[in-house]
Amino acid sequence: GDSVTQMEGPVTLSEEAFLTINCTYTATGYPSLFWYVQYPGEGLQLLLKATKADDKGSNKGFEATYRKETTSFHLEKGSVQVSDSAVYFCALWNGDKIIFGKGTRLHILP
């Protein structure tokens, strides 16, 4: 079945460091891809999305590019802030339902 695999955390970085969280997917057809973020005590929020190959989603300084050839959708940010500390979920929509990865916890140290 369709699935999403993302790097295990926690990921700990210093403020202003470069961030990459890896995500790969398995799906039949051409899914839409998403990154969601969950802050402590809250539900998930949509961070960015890409609906077709080579699309780049971006929001709040975060970016991810839909790479069909490598079935990947890695999340990047050039300079992280303490306020970016959260759990990040990669997800896909396969035409039937949303499938989430297990999440990656990110800690940013001041």
Partner 1 sequence: DAGVIQSPRHEVTEMGQEVTLRCKPISGHNSLFWYRQTMMRGLELLIYFNNNVPIDDSGMPEDRFSAKMPNASFSTLKIQPSEPRDSAVYFCASSPGPSRVGEAFFGQGTRLTVV
* CB of 101 vs partner 1, minimal distance in Å: 8
Q: Which is nearer to partner 1, 25 or 80 (CB)?
A: 25
Q: Does 45 bind partner 1 (CB under 8 A)?
A: yes
Contact 38, 46 (CB under 8 A): no
Which tokens is 38 given? Answer: 């969950």
7 sits near partner 1 (criterion: CB under 8 A): no
- Nearer to partner 1 by Cβ, of 67 and 105: the residue is 105
- Looking at residues 82 to 101 of the shown chain, list those that interact with partner 1 (rule: CB under 8 A): 89, 91-93, 95-100
